[in-house]
Structure 1
């Protein structure tokens, strides 16, 4: 327990010898140190998880994620530790808040950064389903675009094909009507276009010959339609349109597994939007509350330091700083005085040596 206590004290950046004099304040700084430590731990997990998707599919993805997670966690830990240490409790409340304001803003930004990767993991199942729908829509849109481009490119061929199909449909309707008239003529059914005489007479033969000609022409149209469709199919294969197919479940799972951070982040941002365009408020609020939770957790060390009253440990540290500042100022003054006394002495000696040299020169010249 002593090792854990000393570790959390170190995380809080306290002066151990001074804090040992005030046992009633020790638990508070254990809590502050633990908050700073776990904030850095969450940052390491979030940073490593985010980088894992950057190198997803790489053999060294886990190694890179661990390395970056450790570096990112230590950076956030050191920054939080500095933020807490830099708040001077000897100043007034307003000055403390003003001093901590830039650090609170920085803590909010850090909270937003470290919360996003963990939100991606929390909503992983929903994100995968959203990506599945998006990928299917994108694939269908690609197929529709390619098909439309192909139809525009071969508009003349498609016009001819549609014309042949219209003729074939119209001719099939006519053949069906003429076959019914032939039956009426054979069985002696009296209509405006039949004789009403029972039997296979000259009118029946004429209608049957005309019907055979129409059927032969219909077969010709169907042959031409098949040839035109075969030609267009060959051109689709040649231009690679037939290779574009709707993704299977296995293909979708593979695509989702290698989805990058940007795709997952976009899916998380649109997770509250339903396919019909409506908004699912429960999911939207869940994402917001999780983000606020991590922001609050990141700001917690600063808030704890601001909310804590000025205790005996803070007073002792402030007094020590005053003593150190006074001693430093005294040492500087002593050095300045010694330097000021030394310079005139050295100046007088130099002037005397110069005068003696000039006197010797004068006597020699004389």
Structure 2
């Protein structure tokens, strides 16, 4: 059962192969097994690759099965269409396009499995890239809000500076009228004279202006601080909204790029392994000597070709003979006087009818 299945996988003609030796059958069983297990590896590789894309096992399994069947059909076609020739160079030239296709298939199959094999190293590269993206994202978002935040902070600082400036002015006026009363500055007369009263009134007016300015500016500062808090909240919200996008930077293309940043030698040897597996049926057919199955297949093809050529020749000869016979028959008929007179009479009657009909049509028109 298993033997027949692998022979089916090899694409060989089972009717021809049944009459061959056991060794010849074993050769094609090995070729078929290689084709089958290559398809199995293609299923595993594509299923994992598509799982990283869809993040769901069922679509990955379905598309992986379709992909493996496609690879199986291609490999089976490649192996079954290579025919043994008398010269190796003829066989190699015949197999060159198929080898190129096998190389492409091997690269496509090996890449997802390389991603799985080096998953831990790839995760490390992706983590580093995510951290760099987070820092760059915070800087970019911060630059977007920075001008508004800086302007808001500058306005708050200016309002506070106005309060401090007015407060210093009030304190200076207070010191002036106190020292005037003590007689240590100004007129240097002890007591509360007219100058003292003037300076006291000036201080009281400045104090009222200070209290009004302080009340107004503190209200503005509170409003500015509220705006600043909102701007900071918007900045944090923007960063948090973009964070899931960065965390989701884990798709197939990201992993392939991360794989390319790792040392190339291990990945290269894995690709060579798959290349050897994929091309092994072709190489086996090229290197193997012409066997009993190949001779029988060539004989069947030669017999079919000879039959087709013979049928073609017979059809051409039949057409040629039939044409010659028809030419001779119609030549004999053309020399028959009775047939000539009959044909002449019929033609005369036809022309007479046409002339009479034309005349009647002309009369109706007039």
List per-residue Cα deviations over 1:48-81 (Å, max 9, x = no partner).
Answer: 332233322xxxx434323322222122112112
Residue 64 (structure 2) pairs with residue 69 (structure 1): yes
Q: Find the aligned partners of 2:105 and 2:288 in 1 and give their Cα distance.
A: 23
Residue 314 (structure 2) pairs with residue 314 (structure 1): no
Partner of residue 97, structure 2 = 102
Partner of residue 361, structure 1 = 343
Structure 1 residue ranges without an equivalent (≥5): 167-219, 273-280
Q: Find the aligned partners of 1:122 and 1:163 in 2 and give their Cα distance.
A: 61
Partner of residue 284, structure 2 = 304
**1:53–1:260 contact (8 Å) kept in structure 2:** yes
Residue 224 (structure 2) pairs with residue 242 (structure 1): no
Q: Find the aligned partners of 1:130 and 1:164 in 2 and give their Cα distance.
A: 49
Q: 1:161 to 1:285 in 2, by over 3 A?
A: farther
**1:136–1:246 contact (8 Å) kept in structure 2:** no
User: Greater share of helix residues, 1 or 2?
Assistant: 2
Deviation at 1:266?
A: 2.0
Q: Find the aligned partners of 1:141 and 1:21 in 2 and give their Cα distance.
A: 70
List per-residue Cα deviations over 1:187-231 (Å, max 9, x = no partner).
Answer: xxxxxxxxxxxxxxxxxxxxxxxxxxxxxxxxx9xx899886554
Of stretches 23-32 and 347-356 in structure 1, the one that deviates more from structure 2 is 347-356
Q: Residues 1-366 of structure 1: matches in 2 within 5 Å?
A: 3-19=1-17, 20-56=19-55, 61-159=56-154, 231-237=227-233, 240-245=234-239, 255=247, 259-270=250-261, 272=262, 281=263, 284-353=264-333, 357-362=339-344
Higher alpha-carbon Rg: 2
Q: 1:144 to 1:163 in 2, by over 3 A?
A: farther
Q: Find the aligned partners of 2:251 and 2:95 in 1 and give their Cα distance.
A: 37
Q: 1:362 to 1:230 in 2, by over 3 A?
A: closer
**1:44–1:73 contact (8 Å) kept in structure 2:** yes
**1:50–1:261 contact (8 Å) kept in structure 2:** yes
Q: Find the aligned partners of 1:165 and 1:309 in 2 and give their Cα distance.
A: 97
Q: Find the aligned partners of 2:327 and 2:127 in 1 and give their Cα distance.
A: 88
Q: Find the aligned partners of 2:101 and 2:159 in 1 and give their Cα distance.
A: 72
Structure 2 residue ranges without an equivalent (≥5): 162-213, 350-366
Would you say how many aligned residue pairs link Structure 1 and Structure 2?
A: 294
- Aligned alpha-carbon RMSD (Å): 3.6
Of stretches 336-345 and 65-74 in structure 1, the one that deviates more from structure 2 is 65-74
